[in-house]
A and B are shown apart, each in its own frame.
Chain A
Amino acid sequence: MNRKFLGVVFLLALLALTAIGCSNNDSKAGKSDDNSSANVSYKDEINIAVTAQPPTLDSAMTVSQVALDIAGNIFETLYTLNEDYEPTPMLAESVDISDDGKTYTFKLREGILFHNGKEMTSEDVVASMNRWLEKSSRAKSLLENANFVAEDPYTVVLNLENAASDVLIIMASQANFPAIMPKEIIDSAPAEGVTEYIGTGPFQFEEWKQDQYIKLSKYDEYQAVDEEASGFAGKKEAFVEDVFYHFVTDHSTRIAGIQTGEYDIADNIPTESYEQLNSIDDIKVYTFVGGTLTMFFNTNEGVLADVNIRQAINAAFNMDEILLASFVNEELYSLDPSYMNPNQIQWASDAGKEYYNQADLEKAKTLLADAGYNGEEITLLTTQDYAEMYTATTVVQEQLRQLGLNVKIENYDFPTFLETKNDLSKWDIFITSNGYQLTPPQLLAVNPDWAGLNDANVAELLTQIRAADSPEEAKAKWDELQGYLYETLSSTVIGQYNSILATTDKLEGLEVFEAPIIWNTKVIE
C-alpha cells in the first residue's frame, strides 16, 4: 500500500514537470491569437504593485513617493505641473499677481464637488492651504510667514512677506503637495495627519487594508478641466472602476506578478532585472527620469572638514565607474554635473563641470600630499536598504583606497542610517539617491539640516535666486551657486539615474510622468 502511494506521488511529480514544459508553449500560441481579434473589451480594474505601504496619504505630511503617487489620484491642487514642468491651473481657474509680487489672487473653479458631495469653496481652500503652510516642511521653509485668506466664496488671496519667483512652482510640486480637502476634515484631523481622505480627484478613497492594499474607486461626479492631458495637468478621465495599489515588498514577486498579469503595473524594478524584462515579449519596460545620485561630505568635523582634502579626493573620483556599478546598464544612467533635472531647461546647469568626474589619480595624489593627509580613518556611511547607494559606496571605498586612504564602511538599516547621519561626528561621506526638485532652494544639497552644510554664501545666493526679477537672472545666480558648490565641495553629483517601471502589454493610454498616471489609462481584457 505504501509503495503504491509513493508511486502515485512520483507520477504526479513527473506529470507536473511535463505540464510545465507543454503549457509554456501553449500560452504563447494562445496570446498571439488574442491580439489579432478586432473587438477589444476593457477591464474595470487596474492593479499596481508598489514597494511599500505608505505612512499616510496626507500629502502635506510626507515625502514618501508611494504616498504621493496614490494621493495624487484622490486629491488635487490649485496648480499642478504639466509635462514641461510648468505650473498649470487645476482647481484654480487663474491667478493674478500684484506688481510687487507679494499678493497672489486665485480665482477658483466653481461647482467642484468633493467626494463627500460638498461643493468646494474658498473656506476649504484657505483651510487646506494654511494647514499646508504650517505642516509641510517645504512650504514652511520656502514660504515663511505667508498666509491665505478668503475674499469671496470663489476667490482666495495669498499674502507673502517677500516676493519670490517660485511660488507657483512650490505650490505645484509633487513633494508635500497642498491637497485641497474639506474644511471639516482639517478641523477634526489629529496632529499626525488627516485620517479621512476626501478630495476632488478622479478617484476616491475606498479602503486601506493594512499591509495588503489601498483601494480607490472611480468618482462619478468628477469634473475634468477642458484642456488636453499633459503631465499631472489637463483632462482626467477614469476608465476603470477600481484601482488597487498592492504593497509588494519583494521585487521578484512584483516581477512575477507582471508576468502572470496579477499586476498591471509594477514600480521600482531593480536595475539588474532591466535586461531580463526587456527581453520578454508581453512586458513593457519604461524608464523615466529618476534623480541624482549625490555624494555628501562632512564639512564640519573630521579630516574632510579641510576643503583641500575634499578637493584632493574629488579629483580621484571616476563617476562613470561608480554609476555603472550602481545602475548596471548604460541606458539607466548619464554623466552630468547638474544638481537639477537636466531636462528642465530653466535650471539645468553644467557650472563647475571642470571639477566633476576628473578621474585623475596622479593629480589627486599630489593634492593629497600637499593637503597633509596623515592616514586618518575616513568613514563612509551607507545603507543596504537602497542597493544603488550601497554599491556606489563600495566603489567609492575602492577608489579612495587606490588613492592610499584609510577607508571603512559603516552599513546600517535605513532608519539607523538616517539617525547616524544626523550625528556629524560619526561619518565623513555618505551617498544618497534623491529625486529631482523643481527649484534650487528645495535641493537637499543646499539644506543645512541634511548634511550639516553651514555656509553663508550659499544662503545668500539662494535668497538672490528667489528674489530674482526674471528667470534669466535666477538662472545666472543658480549657475553661480552650483559652481560654488563644486568649488567648496560640500557635496558632488555622481550622476543622473533613471527609474524603471514594468507593465503588461494590456495598457492603453498610460502616461509616465514622475509616476505612472492611472487616469486616462485603459486595461485591455
Chain B
Amino acid sequence: MLSYLFKRIYSLIPVLFVVSVAIFLIVHITPGDPAAIILGMEATEEQIASLNEEMGLNEPIVKQYLLWVGGVLQGDFGQSYFMKEPVLDSILSHLGPTISLAILAEIVALIIAIPIGIFAAYRRGSFTDHTLMVATLLGMAVPSFLLGLLLMLSFGVYLQWLPIAGYKPLTEGLWTHLRYLILPALSLGAIQAALVARMTRSSMLEVLNKNYVKTARSKGVKEHKVITKHALRNAFLPILTVIGQSFGTLVTGAVVVETIFNLPGLGQLIINSIERRDFAVIQGIVLFVTLIYVFINLIVDLLYGVIDPRVRLERK
C-alpha cells in the first residue's frame, strides 16, 4: 500500500515538470504586459519599461523560469505583481470559497443524482425512466451560467430569500456562509447531478441483471436491501470515478459561476489574473490545480480499495 502511494507520488514529478514548462511558456509568450495593466491605459512606455525592470520581467526567459522553479521547490510561488502579496497567500485565500462551493455542489449533485439513477435503473424502460433521463439530458445541456442567472432572478431578485451575490466566510456563522453558496451550488450541482445520475443508471442496470442479485432476491432479501447493499455497492466503482472527476471539475472549473455570483474563489482569481497578466499567479494556480487534480484521482483510487476488497487483494 505504502509503496503504491510512493509510486503515485513519484509519477507526479514528470507531470508537474511538463505542466510547469508549458504554463510558463504560454503565459510569457502571450502578448500583454503586467506593468501596462498596473499603470493604466495612459502610462508612458518609459514608465512601463521601468516597472517591468523592477519586477524582473526583463531577464532572459530561461533565467526567469529557473528562478521561478527554484522558488517553487522551496515553497515560494513568487509574488503577485498586481495584488502585491505572495502568490501562495492569494491562492490560499481564494481556496476557501471554491472548496466550500465544490463540496456543497457535490452534495447537491449526489442527493439529486443517486436516487434518480437508482430509480431509473429499477424502473428501466418505464415512462418514469424516460422522463428522468430526458431531464438529465436537459440538465447536461443547460449551461451553468443560464441556470445561475435564472436561480438568481427567482430566488434572489423576486423572492429575495437568498443573496444574489457575494461571499461570507465560515467564521461568520454556518448559515451566513451557506446562504451565499446555495444558489451557486445549485447551478453547479444540477449539471454534475445529470452526469452522475446517468452513470448511476447504467452502472446499476449492469449489476441488476447479475446472478448474485437474482440469488439475493430469490432468497427473500428485502427489495431495498437488494438495491442498496447488493446492487449499489457493486455498481459503485464507476460511479465513484465520475464523482471524483466531477469534484475535480468543481474545484478547478467553476469560473463562470464564481463570476456571476461574485465568489472570490480560484476560478475568479485565475480569470482576473489573466486579465491583469499577473504571470506569477497564473502559473501558481495552474500548478496548484494540477496538484489538486492528481490528488483527487489518487484519493479515488484509494477509495476503490475501501469499497471493493478485490482491488485491495489484487494489489497485494
Contact = CB atoms under 8 A, between A and B. Distances in A.
A419 B260 contact: no
A262 B33 contact: no
B156 A250 contact: no
A211 B268 contact: yes
A39 interface: no
A2 B94 CA distance: 39
A211 B51 contact: no
Interface residues of A, number: 55
A19 B32 CA distance: 49
A192 B31 contact: no
A384 interface: no
B154 A63 contact: no
A61 B43 CA distance: 9
B115 A210 contact: no
A415 B37 contact: yes
B84 interface: yes
B218 interface: no
A220 B261 CA distance: 35
B201 to A, nearest CB: 13
Interface residues of B, number: 58
A144 B152 CA distance: 53
Contact of A416 (B32, B153, B164): B32
A114 B122 CA distance: 73
A6 interface: yes
A55 B82 contact: yes
Interface in A418-450: 418-420, 422, 432, 444, 447, 449-450
Interface in B107-141: 115, 118-119, 122, 128
B275 A413 contact: yes
Contacts of B45: 422, 449
A419 B155 CA distance: 43
Nearest to A253: B165
B41 interface: yes
A41 interface: no
B272 A260 contact: no
A192 B38 contact: yes
Contacts of A257: 164-165
A5 B118 CA distance: 13
Given A27-B160, A210-B90, A418-B33, A191 B54 contact: yes
B298 interface: no
B233 to A, nearest CB: 18
Contacts of A499: none
A414 B155 CA distance: 35
Contacts of A2: 115, 118-119, 122
A212 B33 contact: no
A1 B224 contact: yes
B157 A256 contact: yes
A442 to B, nearest CB: 9
A444 B260 contact: no
A211 B259 contact: no
Nearest to B120: A2
B217 to A, nearest CB: 17
A259 B157 contact: yes
A64 interface: yes
Contacts of A195: 84
B211 interface: no
B42 interface: yes
A137 interface: yes
A53 interface: yes
B15 interface: no
A73 interface: no
B305 interface: no
Contacts of A6: 115, 119, 128
B158 A23 contact: yes
B264 A419 contact: no
B38 A55 contact: yes
B39 interface: yes
A137 B84 contact: no
A273 to B, nearest CB: 14
A38 interface: no
Nearest to A53: B272
A418 B32 contact: yes
A5 to B, nearest CB: 6
26 contacts: A2-B115, A2-B118, A2-B119, A16-B159, A52-B272, A55-B39, A61-B38, A62-B38, A64-B40, A141-B44, A210-B85, A210-B94, A210-B264, A211-B264, A212-B264, A248-B165, A260-B156, A260-B164, A413-B32, A413-B275, A415-B31, A415-B275, A418-B37, A419-B36, A447-B42, A449-B44
Interface of A: 1-2, 5-6, 16, 19-20, 23-24, 27, 52-53, 55-56, 61-64, 137, 141, 175, 191-192, 195, 209-212, 246-250, 252-253, 256-257, 259-260, 262, 385, 412-416, 418-420, 422, 432, 444, 447, 449-450
Closest 5 CB pairs of A and B: A415-B32, A63-B40, A211-B264, A416-B31, A55-B38
